[in-house]
C-alpha cells in the first residue's frame, strides 16, 4: 500500500554565501540538486520567508523550499508554506544534515526526535513531528562542544564527495518518494552500504 504522496520537500540550511558550502547546508544541497535535475528555478518568496521552486514529477506538482530564516527558525517558513498550500504534515519531507550518521550514509524516516538539530526543533515546535526526514550524514566531530563549529565548517574533499554521492542516490529515488512508495525508496537507500 502506498503512503501519502510527498507534496513539499524542504531543504534546511542557512542563507548567505558564507554558509553555502558548510555541512549544515546539506539540506539546501539536496533541493538544489532536485531543482537542477528537473529544470526548476528557485525564487525568493517573502510571504513564505524562503526561496521556492515548483517542479513536475510524474505529472504531479512538487514544491521545493529553502527557508531563508536561518536554521533555528526553519519552522516559521515551513508553517507559512504548508498553511498556504494546505499541505499535511505527512506530505512533507525535510532534508537535513545529520551528525549521527557518517558521510556516505543517508537515511529516510518518519517522525522521531530532533536530536539537538535546531532546524528540526523549530519545525516540531511549529508543526509537530510526524513529517518525513531525509537524514544526510555529515559525521560527528567527536565531542559535543565542537558540534556548532563542525556543522558550520566545510567538509573535507573526501567527505564532500561522499555527501554529494548520497544526495545523488536520494535524488535518483525522487519519483518513488513523491509517488508515495516511500518504503521501497527507503529500502533502496538503506541498502547502499
C-alpha cell at 45: 518568496
Neighbours of 128 (CB within 10 A): 11
Provide CB contacts within 8 A for 105, sequence distance 6+: 137, 166
Annotated catalytic residues are: 24
Of 117, 132, 110, which Cα lies nearest the Cα of 13?
117
Beta bridge partners of 137: 98
Q: Which helix (H) or strand (E) holds 11?
A: strand 8-11
Amino acid at each position: 500500500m502506498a503512503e501519502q504522496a510527498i507534496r513539499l520537500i524542504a531543504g534546511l540550511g542557512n542563507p548567505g554565501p558564507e554558509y553555502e558550502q558548510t555541512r549544515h547546508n546539506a539540506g539546501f544541497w539536496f533541493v538544489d540538486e532536485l531543482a537542477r535535475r528537473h529544470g526548476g528555478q528557485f525564487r525568493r518568496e517573502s510571504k513564505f520567508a524562503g526561496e521556492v521552486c515548483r517542479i513536475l514529477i510524474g505529472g504531479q506538482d512538487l514544491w521545493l523550499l529553502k527557508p531563508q530564516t536561518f536554521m533555528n527558525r526553519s519552522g516559521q517558513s515551513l508553517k507559512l508554506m504548508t498553511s498556504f498550500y494546505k499541505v499535511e504534515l505527512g506530505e512533507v519531507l525535510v532534508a537535513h544534515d545529520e551528525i549521527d550518521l557518517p558521510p556516505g550514509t543517508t537515511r529516510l524516516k518518519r517522525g522521531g526526535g530532533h536530536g539537538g538539530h535546531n532546524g528540526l526543533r523549530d519545525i516540531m515546535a511549529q508543526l509537530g513531528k510526524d513529517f518525513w526526514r531525509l537524514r544526510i550524514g555529515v559525521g560527528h566531530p567527536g565531542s559535543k562542544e565542537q558540534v556548532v563549529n563542525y556543522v558550520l565548517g566545510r567538509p573535507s574533499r573526501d567527505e564532500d564527495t561522499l555527501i554529494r554521492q548520497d544526495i545523488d542516490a536520494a535524488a535518483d529515488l525522487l519519483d518513488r518518494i513523491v509517488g508515495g512508495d516511500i518504503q521501497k525508496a527507503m529500502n533502496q537507500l538503506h541498502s547502499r552500504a
